[in-house]
Amino acid sequence: DIVMTQSPDSLAVSLGERATINCKSSQSVLYSSNNKNYLAWYQQKPGQPPKLLIYWASTRESGVPDRFSGSGSGTDFTLTISSLQAEDVAVYYCQQYYSTPSFGPGTKVDIK
Amino acid sequence: QVQLVQSGAEVKKPGASVKVSCKASGYTFTSYGISWVRQAPGQGLEWMGWISAYNGNTNYAQKLQGRVTMTTDTSTSTAYMELRSLRSDDTAVYYCAGETGSSDAFDIWGQGTMVTVSS
C-alpha cells in the first residue's frame, strides 16, 4: 500500500499571505502511460465532508478559486494558497488514487 | 444537482451490525463507482472500499475484509455499506463518495453518517 505523509501538521498564516503544504507518497503515483500524477487535494471544514480542490496533482476542480494551486510529480507534491482568505481555514488532505486509495494525515491551516 | 444523500445517525452496541445508505441523484448512477470513507472523531480520513455501480464489483480495504459488505440497488440509485461485529473504534463519521469527473478523485461526497458504538 502507498503511504502518504504531509508537512507541516499545522500552520498559521496571516491573511493575504501564502500558505504551502507538502505531501509525499511512499512510491511514485505517476502513471507513465499517460504521464498523469494520480494525486488529489481536498479541503475539509468542521462538520462538513471533504471538498475536492485539485486532481491530477495540478488541475483545479470547477469552481475552486485560482488562489489554490497544486504542483509536483512522482512522489513529492505541494498545495499552495497564494493569498490566504478567512474562509480557507480548514484541514487539507492529499490523496493518491494510483492504487488502493489512501489519504495523508492532514494539515490544519489557521489565521495568524 | 449531483448529490449523494446518506441515512441518519446510528447508535449500536459492540458486536452489532450497521447498514448505511447513500442515495445518488443528478447523474447516471451505473456509470460510476462509490467509495466509502470513514473519519473517527478528531482523526483523518480512512478509505474503506469501493463498489462499481455498473456491475457490483468490490474492492475492500484489507483491514476490513470479512467485516464489511458494500452493495448497490440500481433501481433506486442507492449504495449501501454494512459493517459487522462493531467495536468501539468503529465509532466514526461514514461518508460515501463518488468519482463522476474525469479522474478517479472523489468529486462528490455524501453529508456523512455518524455511527456511535457504545455499550
Tell me if B107 and A95 make a contact (CB, 8 A cut-off).
no
- What's chain B's Rg over C-alpha atoms? 14
From the CA of B86, how many Å to the nearest CA of chain A? 23
pLDDT tens readout for residues B22-64: 999 999 999 999 999 999 999 999 999 999 999 999 999 999 9
* DSSP string for A35-103: TEE-EEEEEE-TTS--EEEEETTTEEPTT--TTEEEEEETTEEEEEESS--GGG-EEEEEEE-SSS-EE
From the CA of B47, how many Å to the nearest CA of chain A? 6
For A108, nearest residue in chain B (alpha carbons): B44
pLDDT tens readout for residues B58-90: 999 999 999 999 999 999 999 999 999 999 999
Residue A109 has pLDDT above 90, yes or no: yes
From the CA of B93, how many Å to the nearest CA of chain A? 9
Give the mean pLDDT of A75-88: 98
3-state secondary structure of B13: coil
Nearest-angstrom CA–CA distance, B69 and B80? 8
From the CA of A70, how many Å to the nearest CA of chain B? 14
Task: Tell me if A73 sits within 8 A of A30, measured CB to CB.
Answer: yes
Nearest-angstrom CA–CA distance, A61 and A90? 17
% of chain A surpassing 70 pLDDT:
100
Which residue has 452493495 as its cell numbers? B71
For chain B, give the mean pLDDT. Answer: 97
Query: Residue B58 forms beta bridges with which residues?
Result: B51
pLDDT tens readout for residues A36-50: 999 999 999 999 999
Task: Tell me if B109 sits within 8 A of B43, measured CB to CB.
Answer: no
Chain A interface disruption, residue of B45, B58, B62, most A CBs within 10 A: B45
Here the cell at position A4 is: 502518504
Q: What is the pLDDT of residue B31?
A: 94
The reply to whether B32 touches chain A by the CB within 8 Å rule is no
What DSSP state is assigned to residue B101?
S
Task: Tell me if A87 sits within 8 A of A67, measured CB to CB.
Answer: no
Give the mean pLDDT of A80-93: 98
Tell me if A93 and B111 make a contact (CB, 8 A cut-off).
no
Minimal Cβ distance to A49: which of B35, B44, B112 = B112
Pick the closest to residue A110 from A64, A60, A46 (CA basis): A46
Nearest-angstrom CA–CA distance, B83 and A102? 20
CB-CB neighbours of A82 under 10 Å: 14
Minimal Cβ distance to B44: which of A1, A40, A106 = A106
Q: What is the pLDDT of residue B101?
A: 84
Nearest-angstrom CA–CA distance, A99 and B63? 16
Here the cell at position A11 is: 500552520
Tell me if B101 and A100 make a contact (CB, 8 A cut-off).
no
